[in-house]
Amino acid sequence: MRRMITGGRLLVLVVLSVLVVTGCTSQGTVNPGWTVVAVNGDNVYTVLASGTVLALKADSGTELWKYPVAQAASGGLGSLFAPKQTSQDTALNAVYGLPVFTDDFVVVGTFDNKLYAFNRTSGQKAWEYIAQGAIVGGPAEYDGTIYFGASDSRVYAVKATATSAELLWNPLVTTHGIWGAPVVDEKHVYVASLDHFIYALERQTGELAWKYDLGAAAPGGVYLAGDMVLVGGVSNKLNALSAATGELVWERQFDQWVWGEVLLDKGVLYASSLDGQVHALNPQDGTLIWDAKLDGATRAGPSLAGDYLVIGTNDGKIYRIGLADGRAELLYVIDKASILSKIAVLDNQVFAGTTSGTIVALDVTKIGGTPLWTYPTATK
């Protein structure tokens, strides 16, 4: 771990330390989050670092709705000159995990123990569910049920309705908090924990199916690739396990932590490590195909955009990486900002959110130049 405290990687370690200190004792105060971005249909949905929830048109950045909404004060002629007041709704506490979608809702988890659902069309808050611990990783959705882990060492399953979320089960699973998003298939919910284990729970009941000792804390999410579950951690390894039994299929050793999301495309597995390297692997046995070395730490995993991977760094750099040869090219630099969450993609458009509360939309086929749009719009 001593190697972590060098160069740009210090910022990621500081973020990690803050979560260690506060993750189990959130006090309901508004903490700064990361700007998380996801695409659904032709729209971009985001929670800014300030806690504002937005829906934007992907092609233009035009605002479709915002939560909370500023409302004018009521009451006679004087109200025309009164300052705007916010409604009783307030900005969200810190959000670190990506939102997920149901047929009707955008669903996000927050650091002050809450799971929110917003109407995808109007932005109106439909419901909120209060857990017993901070929700650091994002939720997962399967067949109308939302699954998430929390800092109280529990995994939750809640059934989403039009006006509420009904708790189905929430067993005490681990001895430490859960920071990563789970992944779900027809049989199991898979989740990694800071207690060194990955767990498979029966999807219908929450009962333990199997667990595997990773040998070190796993702060990130897990990924399903066919009949395998993939998970990294602070052991500097990427582990591939049988989804059915939890038996180890293979493991790959890297030089630094594997915290970000893993990606499988056309028979190649892509993973990143905190030292700014992106790795292409054979998913059958974990053998290396190529490595790409970037300038800066990479907390989140890569995204697929056409013929490229795209990934951001803690010092605001956005790279595209050729799938065939691993050649890394600097696509754009956002000054005085960090990109700690996964970049969203729609065709050749990529959308990066920053810790400073901005979103930049780029064309992955064009190096440098002017962004397609930014939010908020830059002013002179």
Q: Which CATH class is domain 254-380?
A: mainly beta
Query: What residues contact 312, with CB distance under 8 A and at least 6 apart?
Result: 298, 300, 318, 319, 339, 340, 343, 352
Q: What is the pLDDT of residue 2?
A: 34
All structural domains of the chain with their residue ranges: 254-380
Q: How far apart are CA 18 and CA 85, in angstroms?
A: 32
- The confidence score (pLDDT) of residue 87 equals 56
pLDDT digits (tens, 9 = 90+) for 280-318: 999 999 999 999 999 999 999 999 999 999 999 999 999
Alpha helices in 201-245 (DSSP H): none
Report DSSP letters for 159-196, one per residue: EE-SS-EEEEE--B--SS---SPPEE-SSEEEEE-TTS
Low-confidence stretches of the chain (pLDDT beneath 70): 1-31, 71-87, 378-380
Place of tokens 């998380």: 36
Q: pLDDT, tens digit, for every residue of 145-204?
A: 999 999 999 999 999 999 999 999 999 999 999 999 999 999 999 999 999 999 999 999
Cβ-proximal residues to 369 (8 Å cutoff; 6+ apart), any chain: none
3-state secondary structure of 321: strand
Between CA 296 and CA 294 the distance in angstroms is 6
* Residue 55 Cα to chain centre, angstroms: 17
Output the pLDDT for position 377. Answer: 85
Contact predicate 135/114, CB 8 Å: yes
**pLDDT, position 368:** 85
Radius of gyration of the chain (CA): 20
